[in-house]
Chains A and B, each alone.
Chain A
Amino acid sequence: MPESIKDKVAIIGMGCTNFGELWNKSVSDLMVDAAYEAYEDAGIEPKDIDAAWVGNWQEVSGMSGLGLAGLRLQYKPITRVENMCATGTDALRNASYAVACGVCDIALAVGAEKLKDMGYAGLISVSPGGTTGTGGISTTAPAIFAMLATRYFSRYNISPDAGKRMLSRLSVKSHHNGNLNPKAHFHKEITVEQAMNAPIIAWPLGLFDCCGVSDGAAAALVCRAADAKKFRKDPVFIKSIRMCVGPAEGPVKQEYDFTHVEETYRAGLAAYAEAGVKNPRKEISMAEVHDCFSITEAVIMEDLQFSPRGKVKEDIESGFFDLDGGLPVQPDGGLKCFGHPVGATGLRMIYEMYKQLQGKAGPRQLKNINLGLTHNQGSMPPACTIAVCIVGR
Chain B
Amino acid sequence: MVGITSFGAYIPYHRVVREEFYKAWGGFPIPGEKAIASYDEDAVTMAWDAGNNCLSGLDPKKVDGLYLATTCAPYKEKQNSTIVATALDMRDDIRTADFCNSLRSGTEALSAALDAVKAGSVKNMLVTAAETREGAPAGMGEAQYGDAAAALLIGDTNVVAELLGSYSVSDEYAGEWRAHNDHFVRAWEDRHLLDEGYSEQLPKAITGLMKKCKVNAKDIAKLVMSSPMDVRRHGKVAVGAGFGMGQIQEPFFMTVGTCGAAMGMLMLVAALEEAKPGDKILLAQYGNGADAFLFQVTDAIAKKAKAHLSVQALINSKRTLPYYTYLRWRGLVTVERGRRPEIPFTSLTALKRSRKEVMGLYGKKCLTCGHVMYQMPFGIGGMTPIRVCYYCQTKDNFEDYRFADKKAKIFTYSLDMLADVIDPPGTPVFVDFEGGGRGWFDLTDREPEKVKVGLDVEMVLRHQSFDRGIHNYYWKARPVRG
Q: Which of A119, A123, A139 has the most CB of B within 10 A?
A: A139
Nearest Cβ distance between residue B365 and chain A, in whole angstroms?
13
Nearest Cβ distance between residue A124 and chain B, in whole angstroms?
5
Q: Which residues of A contact B350 (CB under 8 A)?
A: 130-134
Q: Which residues of B contact A131 (CB under 8 A)?
A: 344, 347, 350
Is residue A366 contacting chain B, with contact meaning CB distance below 8 A?
A: no
Is residue A226 contacting chain B, with contact meaning CB distance below 8 A?
A: no
> Which listed residue, A138, A150, A251, touches B381 by the CB 8 Å rule?
A251
Q: Which residues of B contact A203 (CB under 8 A)?
A: 414-417, 425
B378-411 vs A, Cβ < 8 Å mask (1 yes, 0 no)? 1111110000001100000000000000000001
> Which listed residue, A127, A147, A252, A383, touches B344 by the CB 8 Å rule?
A127
Nearest Cβ distance between residue A82 and chain B, in whole angstroms?
13
Is residue B376 contacting chain A, with contact meaning CB distance below 8 A?
A: yes
- Say yes or no: B411 contacts A137, CB within 8 Å: no
CA A170 – CA B335 in complex, angstroms?
37
- Say yes or no: A251 contacts B438, CB within 8 Å: yes
Is residue A15 contacting chain B, with contact meaning CB distance below 8 A?
A: no
- Say yes or no: A134 contacts B346, CB within 8 Å: yes
> Which listed residue, B339, B342, B419, B453, touches A150 by the CB 8 Å rule?
B453
Is residue A199 contacting chain B, with contact meaning CB distance below 8 A?
A: yes
Is residue A31 contacting chain B, with contact meaning CB distance below 8 A?
A: no
User: How many inter-chain residue pairs (CB < 8 Å) link A and B?
Assistant: 182
Identity of the chain A residue whose Cβ is nearest the Cβ of B420 in the assembled complex? A138
Q: Which residues of B contact A133 (CB under 8 A)?
A: 343-347, 350, 378, 465, 467, 472
Nearest Cβ distance between residue A48 and chain B, in whole angstroms?
39
CA A122 – CA B338 in complex, angstroms?
11
Is residue A75 contacting chain B, with contact meaning CB distance below 8 A?
A: no
Nearest Cβ distance between residue A167 and chain B, in whole angstroms?
14
Nearest Cβ distance between residue A39 and chain B, in whole angstroms?
36
CA A143 – CA B425 in complex, angstroms?
10
> Which listed residue, B341, B414, B425, touches A120 by the CB 8 Å rule?
B341
- Say yes or no: A136 contacts B464, CB within 8 Å: yes
Q: Which of A100-143 contact B (CB under 8 A)?
A: 118-140, 142-143
B439-482 vs A, Cβ < 8 Å mask (1 yes, 0 no)? 11110000000000100000000001101000010110000000
Q: Which residues of B contact A134 (CB under 8 A)?
A: 346-347, 350-351, 354, 358, 377-378, 472, 474
Identity of the chain A residue whose Cβ is nearest the Cβ of B354 in the assembled complex? A134
Is residue B426 contacting chain A, with contact meaning CB distance below 8 A?
A: yes
- Say yes or no: A202 contacts B418, CB within 8 Å: yes
CA A125 – CA B351 in complex, angstroms?
20
CA A249 – CA B393 in complex, angstroms?
12
Q: A138 with B421: in contact, given A143-B428, A144-B428, A258-B430 (CB under 8 Å)?
A: yes
Q: Which residues of A contact B436 (CB under 8 A)?
A: 254
CA A124 – CA B382 in complex, angstroms?
18
Nearest Cβ distance between residue B336 and chain A, in whole angstroms?
12
CA A248 – CA B374 in complex, angstroms?
12
Is residue B375 contacting chain A, with contact meaning CB distance below 8 A?
A: yes
Nearest Cβ distance between residue A249 and chain B, in whole angstroms?
5
> Which listed residue, B341, B412, B472, touches A136 by the CB 8 Å rule?
B472
Is residue B175 contacting chain A, with contact meaning CB distance below 8 A?
A: no
Q: Which of A125, A133, A144, A199 has the most CB of B within 10 A?
A: A133
- Say yes or no: A199 contacts B417, CB within 8 Å: yes
- Say yes or no: A383 contacts B378, CB within 8 Å: no
Q: Which residues of A contact B465 (CB under 8 A)?
A: 133, 136
- Say yes or no: A136 contacts B474, CB within 8 Å: yes
CA A249 – CA B438 in complex, angstroms?
10
Is residue A197 contacting chain B, with contact meaning CB distance below 8 A?
A: no
- Say yes or no: A139 contacts B347, CB within 8 Å: no
- Say yes or no: B453 contacts A139, CB within 8 Å: no
Interface size on A, residues (CB 8 A): 52
Is residue B329 contacting chain A, with contact meaning CB distance below 8 A?
A: no
Nearest Cβ distance between residue A314 and chain B, in whole angstroms?
23
- Say yes or no: A254 contacts B438, CB within 8 Å: yes
> Which listed residue, B340, B390, B474, touches A135 by the CB 8 Å rule?
B474
- Say yes or no: B418 contacts A247, CB within 8 Å: no
- Say yes or no: A132 contacts B347, CB within 8 Å: yes
A136-163 vs B, Cβ < 8 Å mask (1 yes, 0 no)? 1111101110111011001000000000
Q: A127 with B379: in contact, given A203-B425, A249-B390, A252-B437 (CB under 8 Å)?
A: yes
CA A69 – CA B374 in complex, angstroms?
43
Q: Which residues of B contact A118 (CB under 8 A)?
A: 341
Is residue A63 contacting chain B, with contact meaning CB distance below 8 A?
A: no
Q: Which residues of B contact A380 (CB under 8 A)?
A: 380
Is residue B326 contacting chain A, with contact meaning CB distance below 8 A?
A: no
- Say yes or no: B378 contacts A139, CB within 8 Å: no
CA A22 – CA B144 in complex, angstroms?
55
Is residue B250 contacting chain A, with contact meaning CB distance below 8 A?
A: no
Please classify how large the interface on chain B is, using the bins under 10, 10 to 19, 20 to 34, 35 or more. 35 or more
CA A66 – CA B402 in complex, angstroms?
46
A26-51 vs B, Cβ < 8 Å mask (1 yes, 0 no)? 00000000000000000000000000
Identity of the chain B residue whose Cβ is nearest the Cβ of A123 in the assembled complex? B341
Is residue A64 contacting chain B, with contact meaning CB distance below 8 A?
A: no
CA A131 – CA B467 in complex, angstroms?
14
- Say yes or no: B416 contacts A140, CB within 8 Å: yes
Nearest Cβ distance between residue B339 and chain A, in whole angstroms?
3
Identity of the chain B residue whose Cβ is nearest the Cβ of A122 in the assembled complex? B418
Q: Which residues of B contact A204 (CB under 8 A)?
A: 414
Q: A129 with B339: in contact, given A150-B413, A199-B417, A251-B381 (CB under 8 Å)?
A: no
Is residue A200 contacting chain B, with contact meaning CB distance below 8 A?
A: yes
Q: Which residues of A contact B442 (CB under 8 A)?
A: 137-139
Is residue A71 contacting chain B, with contact meaning CB distance below 8 A?
A: no
Nearest Cβ distance between residue A154 and chain B, in whole angstroms?
5
- Say yes or no: A258 contacts B428, CB within 8 Å: no
Is residue A253 contacting chain B, with contact meaning CB distance below 8 A?
A: yes
Identity of the chain A residue whose Cβ is nearest the Cβ of B337 in the assembled complex? A120
Q: Which residues of B contact A73 (CB under 8 A)?
A: none
Is residue B432 contacting chain A, with contact meaning CB distance below 8 A?
A: yes
- Say yes or no: B343 contacts A258, CB within 8 Å: no
Nearest Cβ distance between residue B345 and chain A, in whole angstroms?
5
Identity of the chain B residue whose Cβ is nearest the Cβ of A154 in the assembled complex? B453
Q: Which residues of B contact A127 (CB under 8 A)?
A: 344, 378-379
Q: A143 with B416: in contact, given A119-B339, A121-B339, A129-B345 (CB under 8 Å)?
A: yes
CA A382 – CA B432 in complex, angstroms?
14
A177-201 vs B, Cβ < 8 Å mask (1 yes, 0 no)? 0000000000000000000000111
- Say yes or no: B430 contacts A251, CB within 8 Å: yes
> Which listed residue, A130, A138, A202, touches B417 by the CB 8 Å rule?
A202
CA A253 – CA B366 in complex, angstroms?
13
- Say yes or no: A142 contacts B344, CB within 8 Å: no
CA A199 – CA B418 in complex, angstroms?
11
Q: Which residues of B contact A148 (CB under 8 A)?
A: 412
Nearest Cβ distance between residue A84 and chain B, in whole angstroms?
8
B354-371 vs A, Cβ < 8 Å mask (1 yes, 0 no)? 100110000000000000
Q: Which residues of B contact A154 (CB under 8 A)?
A: 412, 453
Q: Which residues of A contact B338 (CB under 8 A)?
A: 120
Q: Which residues of A contact B373 (CB under 8 A)?
A: 252-253
A374-392 vs B, Cβ < 8 Å mask (1 yes, 0 no)? 0000011011000000000
19 pairs, CB–CB < 8 Å, chain A vs chain B: A125-B342, A126-B379, A130-B344, A135-B357, A135-B472, A137-B376, A137-B440, A139-B419, A143-B426, A147-B412, A147-B414, A150-B453, A200-B415, A202-B414, A248-B381, A248-B383, A251-B376, A251-B430, A379-B381
- Other A-B contacts than A136-B379, A254-B438, 11 sampled, CB-CB below 8 A, are A121-B339, A124-B341, A133-B344, A135-B377, A136-B343, A140-B340, A150-B412, A247-B390, A252-B375, A254-B411, A256-B438
Query: A residues bordering B, Cβ < 8 Å?
Result: 118-140, 142-144, 146-148, 150-151, 154, 199-205, 247-249, 251-254, 256, 258, 379-380, 382-383
The 5 closest A-B pairs by CB, nearest first: A120-B339, A248-B381, A125-B341, A146-B414, A143-B416
